[in-house]
Chains A and B, each alone.
Chain A
Amino acid sequence: MKKRALGIAGSLLFMLAAKIVAAPPLCDKSQIRLVNSMREIAQPYHADLDRGGRLFARWAGLEQRYVLQLNQGDSAKQVSLMRAMLTTNPMCTIFNVEPNADLVVQPMVDAANQSGAWIVTHWAHREGLHPFDGNDQWIAHVAVNSFEAGIAISKLLSDALGGNGGIVALQGRLDTDPARQRFAGLKQVLKSVPNLRLLDQQAANWDRTAAFPIMQTWLARYGNQIRGVWAANDDMALGALEALRAAGLAGRIPVVGVDGIPEAIEAIRKGEMIATVSSDAYYQGSIGLAMGVCVLTGQVPLPKTWPKEKREYYLKLQVITKDNATRYLSDPQATAYAHEWDCANLWSRSMGKAY
């Protein structure tokens, strides 16, 4: 607790200092290019990432300078799309990256270092890699504690079942950190609740069309041994929900997911899902761009001068259940985030260091 207070104090001082010792602008505002690099646009989570980025761009007067890069699940493509963009004006380009897989971060950071472009990454990267280890172009890594998220939803599922019964688990893409960490969270909870049994687990790769047939097969195999469904993301949870619906079980078997997409929140309100965790896709899709703009316009000093915990920190997550679901239903406006995009408040959702 004390450490925390000191940390906050330090940050405040730093920010004050930053305002005084602000550096000259590195780029003319009209030169700045904002790039959001993500897997796809079909999933609501990603659609919100993109929407958050656009909201920010419009707010910052850079609407025409916003670019979306989609790699369709191909890691090599994510890197090559970035490299293609670096051929022109790299030093005024900011990349806000949702990595397709952990291993993608290194090559993208290298590309940024070599060309002078700026990059902010989210979620997770491989062990031993840190922005503050000489990666000066790597502004920050906004980590998500997927482990904590996994624990949170697993606990809620367990509570809903009274700590007793069989559940099935739908995993995300197995080569990504969020998938592994969330499942690790589930396993942790299972260890501590002996009467809660994991009947089966399958990888549905974040996709509801894959989750649907798997859930159908499980219903045929396990019948009413299944008392609850755990899914590593909302899209898969919703796919499983359709299968339950076809079997007339929607609303009777608790389902949990992660992401906080509107459809999931709707389902929670109706009682068909019981919980989800939101990292706030709008925020994730925009904060990296906001940081970059602050650096390029000289409103904050260069990242290499920042303290470590500002370069790699955990993002605050919100657990959404029936109690607070209504709050998250409507489409957010730029005004909701403007305060946090301000260069003075960039770390307002930080939960502390992530290394």
Chain B
Amino acid sequence: MEPQHGQGVLKSTKFHRWGPCVALIVLCVGFTLAGPRFASMENLRVIAEHSAIPLILAVGMTFVVLQGAIDLSIEGVMAVSSLTVAMLVLNSRTGLDLGLTGVLLALLSGVAIGFVNGIVVARLRVPSFMATLGIWSAASGFAMLLSGGQPPRIHDHMLRAFGLGRTFSVPNVVIVAIVVLALGYVLQNYTRFGRYSMAIGGGEQVARLSGLPVDRYKVLAFVFSGLLAALGGVLGSAQIGLGHIDVGLGQMFATVTAVVIGGTSLSGGRGGVIQSALGTVILAVIADGMIFIGITPELQKAVQGVIILSVSLLATWHLRSRLRITR
């Protein structure tokens, strides 16, 4: 008896894997034709650097989205971790100089907030949209409290040098992003955390009935997302040299957009970290390209919207079956 393609609602063809890739190539070619220096080594390095922090955030978000949930709190987490690291390493406000320990404690703050998210969603059964929205507010408020009127300036040279510097002419933040991506890939495809997250997204009821410890993995997903958001906050602060409550401004929307146009469905169970990474690179290319070809700031938002819409269409074209459910 041979396996056959059946009547499953989710028919997968080869095309959908390549949709975002094709979109990326088209964009790059287009921008290069419009402004030749777009393809220069320097600019590619800039694009890579601008993708780095969003990519880290997207990897974290991916696991949450695969489970069919969402984490709206990442900007708040970034704010808290930014201020935490800024106040713990050598800085202009407190007398502390904790160096690496300070960084680790800042990451821990992300873990803690993620844990709270997870408990509220998994145990208290609050829908993730609402729960993380509330945590976002709370975290932002807390960060504002920490910031007071005087945002702490980071004086720790090693941290600053790391944020702005390069190793073998690759920006350090890009190296971190690649490591995070590799870690995400391994987790997704080679651990129960990854596979069960897919399961939860594909059919939570069934997963539960099959005896999987669903709650545990939900909490884990939010913890991971919080951890990576904190990492993003720390790196962002290292770059601008401040503990800044707006270090993550706009990142939540950008991250969800990246995850979606990369091909990870918001209803869960489909997609992955590679797709999300692709999505972030696409967005970075668009943002960079628009500056490159000199679109006036007023038009940028409109153009960005059109491009994102086209990319989404391209990425999901193959799934246009009449009986497909679109949310």
Contacts and interface: CB of A to CB of B under 8 A. Distances in A.
B147 interface: yes
A246 B42 CA distance: 13
A246 B163 CA distance: 9
A44 interface: yes
B35 A221 contact: yes
Contacts of A22: none
Interface in A156-204: 171, 174, 200-203
A48 B149 CA distance: 8
B246 A209 contact: yes
Contacts of B144: 41-42
A257 interface: no
A246 B242 CA distance: 15
A220 B240 contact: no
> Number of contact residues on B: which range applies?
35 or more
Interface string B44-55: 011001100000
Contacts of B242: 208
Contact of B147 (A41, A174, A221, A245): A41
B240 A209 contact: yes
A304 interface: no
Contacts of A44: 150-151
Contact of B249 (A200, A207, A245): A207
B249 A221 contact: no
B144 to A, nearest CB: 7
Contact of A217 (B46, B164, B241): B46
Given A216-B46, A220-B46, 6 more contacts: A42-B244, A42-B246, A208-B240, A209-B247, A219-B42, A220-B43
A263 interface: yes
A131 interface: no
A104 B112 CA distance: 39
Contact of A220 (B40, B246, B297): B40
A214 interface: yes
A213 B240 contact: no
Contact of B240 (A51, A221, A239): A239
Contacts of A217: 43, 46, 50, 288, 291-292
Interface of B: 35, 37, 40, 42-43, 45-46, 49-50, 144, 147-151, 153, 164-165, 236, 239-242, 244-247, 249, 287-288, 291-292, 294, 297-298
Contact of B245 (A42, A212, A216): A42
Interface string A25-65: 00000000000000011101001101100000000000000
A331 to B, nearest CB: 10
B149 A47 contact: yes
Given A41-B144, A212-B240, A242-B164, A221 B43 contact: yes
**Max chain B C-beta neighbours (<10 A), residue from A40, A42, A208, A218:** A42
Contacts of B50: 213, 216-217
A51 B151 CA distance: 13
B237 to A, nearest CB: 10
Interface string A290-333: 00000000000000000000000000000000000000000000
A47 B50 CA distance: 29
A223 interface: yes
A34 B164 CA distance: 43
B148 to A, nearest CB: 8
In the A-B complex, the 4 residue pairs with the smallest Cβ-Cβ separation, listed nearest first, are A47-B149, A203-B297, A220-B43, A246-B164
B45 A42 contact: no
A245 B164 contact: yes
Given A41-B144, A209-B246, A220 B37 contact: yes
9 contacts: A44-B151, A47-B150, A171-B297, A213-B287, A217-B46, A217-B50, A217-B288, A220-B40, A221-B291
A174 to B, nearest CB: 7
A15 to B, nearest CB: 33
Nearest to B295: A202
B25 to A, nearest CB: 20
Contacts of B297: 171, 174, 201-203
B302 to A, nearest CB: 14
Contacts of B246: 40, 42, 207, 209
Given A202-B291, A207-B246, A242-B164, A41 B149 contact: yes
Contacts of A246: 164-165, 239
Contacts of A171: 297
